[in-house]
Amino acid sequence: MHDAGKVVAGIAVFAGLVTAPIWYQASVGGAVQPLDLSRDFPVVRPGAPGFEDLPADLALNPDGTPRECVEPTEFMRANHMAILDRWRDQVVREDVHDYRSTTGKTWPHLKLTGTCMKCHQKKAEFCDRCHDRAGEKPYCWDCHLDRVAGGR
Amino acid sequence: MKILVSLVLVVAAVFLALVLAGTGLRPLFGVALPYLAFATFLIGLAWRVVRWARSPVPFRIPTTCGQQKSLAFLPHSRLDNPFTGRQAFGRMVLEVLFFRSLFRNTTATLTRDGRLVYGSEKWLWAAGLAFHWSLLVIVLRHLRFFLEPVPGFVEVLQDVDGFFQVWVPVLYLTDLVIVAAMTFLFLRRVLLPQVRYISLANDYFPLFLLLGIALTGVLMRYFFKTDLAAVKDVALGLVTFRPTAPEAAGSLFYTHLFLVCVLLAYFPFSKLVHVAGVFLSPTRNLANNNRAERHVNPWNPEVKTHSYQEYEEEFHDLMKNAGYPLERE
In-domain check, residue A58:
yes
In-domain check, residue A106:
yes
| Whether the Cβ atoms of residue A118 and residue A51 lie closer than 8 Å to each other | yes
Same domain, A91 and A78: yes
B218 falls in which pLDDT band (50, 70, 90)?
very high
Chain B residue with minimum CA distance to A84: B168
Q: Mean pLDDT, chain B, as a whole number?
A: 93
Peptide bond preceding B169 in cis form (omega within 30 of 0)? yes
- Between strands A99-100 and B116-120, the pairing is unpaired
In-domain check, residue B183:
yes
**E strand segments, A9-119:** 99-100, 106-107
Please report, for the domain that includes residue B65, its CATH number: 1.20.950.20
In-domain check, residue B328:
no
Q: What share of chain A has pLDDT > 90, as a percent? A: 17
Per-residue pLDDT at B104: 92
Query: In this predicted model, what pLDDT tens digit does every residue of B88-128 receive, in sequence order?
Result: 999 999 999 999 999 999 988 899 999 999 999 999 999 99
Q: What share of chain B has pLDDT > 70, as a percent? A: 100
Same domain, A88 and A63: yes
φ, ψ for residue B120, nearest 5 deg: -75, 145
In-domain check, residue A40:
yes
Per-residue pLDDT at A148: 57
Same domain, A104 and A49: yes
| Whether the Cβ atoms of residue A47 and residue B131 lie closer than 8 Å to each other | no
Same domain, A18 and A90: no
In-domain check, residue B159:
yes
Per-residue pLDDT at B270: 96
Q: End-to-end distance of chain A based on CA atoms, in angstroms?
A: 65
Is B218 an interface residue toward A (CB < 8 Å)? no
Query: In this predicted model, what pLDDT tens digit does every residue of A117-129 receive, in sequence order?
Result: 777 777 877 888 8
Q: What's the rounded Cα separation, in Å, for the pair B254 and B239?
A: 17
Which of A6, A17, A77, A143 to substitute to test the interface with B, most B CBs within 10 Å?
Answer: A77
Per-residue pLDDT at A101: 87
Tally of domains in chain A: 2
Cβ–Cβ gap A21/B146 under 8 Å: yes
Same domain, A71 and A86: yes
Same domain, A21 and A60: no
In-domain check, residue A57:
yes
In the predicted model, what is the mean pLDDT of residues B161-168?
Answer: 89
A62 falls in which pLDDT band (50, 70, 90)?
low
Assign A119 to helix, strand or coil: helix
Of residues A74 and B78, the one with the higher pLDDT is: B78
Same domain, A8 and A49: no
pLDDT at A85 over 60: yes
Assign B203 to helix, strand or coil: helix
Cβ–Cβ gap A18/B236 under 8 Å: no
Cβ–Cβ gap B240/A25 under 8 Å: yes
Q: Which strand (E) or helix (H) includes residue B120?
A: strand B116-120
∠ Cα B121 B122 B125 (to 5°): 125
Q: What's the rounded Cα separation, in Å, for the pair B227 and B221?
A: 10
Same domain, A87 and A134: yes
Buried b (16+ CB within 10 A) or exposed e, B66-90: eebbeeeeeebbbbbbbbeeebbee
Q: Which strand (E) or helix (H) includes residue B108?
A: strand B106-110
pLDDT at A27 over 70: yes
In-domain check, residue A92:
yes
ipTM of predicted complex = 0.86
Per-residue pLDDT at A140: 85
Domain containing residue A55: 35-142
pLDDT at A152 over 50: no
Which of B40, B224, B239 to substitute to test the interface with A, most A CBs within 10 Å?
Answer: B239
Region of residue B225 (left: phi > 0; alpha: psi -120 to 50; beta: else): beta
In-domain check, residue B329:
no
Per-residue pLDDT at A107: 81
A and B: number of Cβ contacts within 8 A: 106
Query: In this predicted model, what pLDDT tens digit does every residue of A86-143 receive, in sequence order?
Result: 888 899 999 988 888 888 888 877 778 777 877 777 787 788 888 888 898 888 888 8
Least confident residue range of A14-23, B289-298, B310-319: B289-298
Same domain, A99 and A131: yes
pLDDT at B235 over 50: yes
In-domain check, residue A99:
yes
pLDDT at A12 over 90: yes
Region of residue B70 (left: phi > 0; alpha: psi -120 to 50; beta: else): beta
In the predicted model, what is the mean pLDDT of residues B181-200?
Answer: 95
Is A112 an interface residue toward B (CB < 8 Å)? no
Cβ–Cβ gap A138/B56 under 8 Å: no
Q: What's the rounded Cα separation, in Å, for the pair B170 and A107?
A: 26
Assign B6 to helix, strand or coil: helix
**In chain B, what residues touch A31 (CB-CB under 8 Å)?**
none
A151 falls in which pLDDT band (50, 70, 90)?
very low
pLDDT at A150 over 50: no
pLDDT at B301 over 70: yes
B171: exposed, middle or buried (C-beta count within 10 Å: 0-12, 13-18, 19+)?
A: middle
In-domain check, residue B285:
yes
Per-residue pLDDT at A49: 56
∠ Cα B68 B69 B72 (to 5°): 130
Domain containing residue B286: 2-322
Is B136 an interface residue toward A (CB < 8 Å)? no
In-domain check, residue B119:
yes
- Between strands B106-110 and B116-120, the pairing is antiparallel
Tally of domains in chain B: 1
In-domain check, residue A26:
yes
Is B144 an interface residue toward A (CB < 8 Å)? yes
φ, ψ for residue B126, nearest 5 deg: -65, -45
Same domain, A95 and A60: yes
Buried b (16+ CB within 10 A) or exposed e, B234-267: bbbbbbbeebbbbebbbbbbbbbbbbbbbbbbbb
- Name the residue among A7, A32, A82 with its Cβ closest to that of B49: A7
Nearest CA distance, A26 vs chain B (angstrom) = 7
**In chain A, what residues touch B225 (CB-CB under 8 Å)?**
78-79, 81-82
Same domain, A114 and A60: yes
Same domain, A66 and A106: yes
In-domain check, residue B327:
no
In the predicted model, what is the mean pLDDT of residues B130-136?
Answer: 97
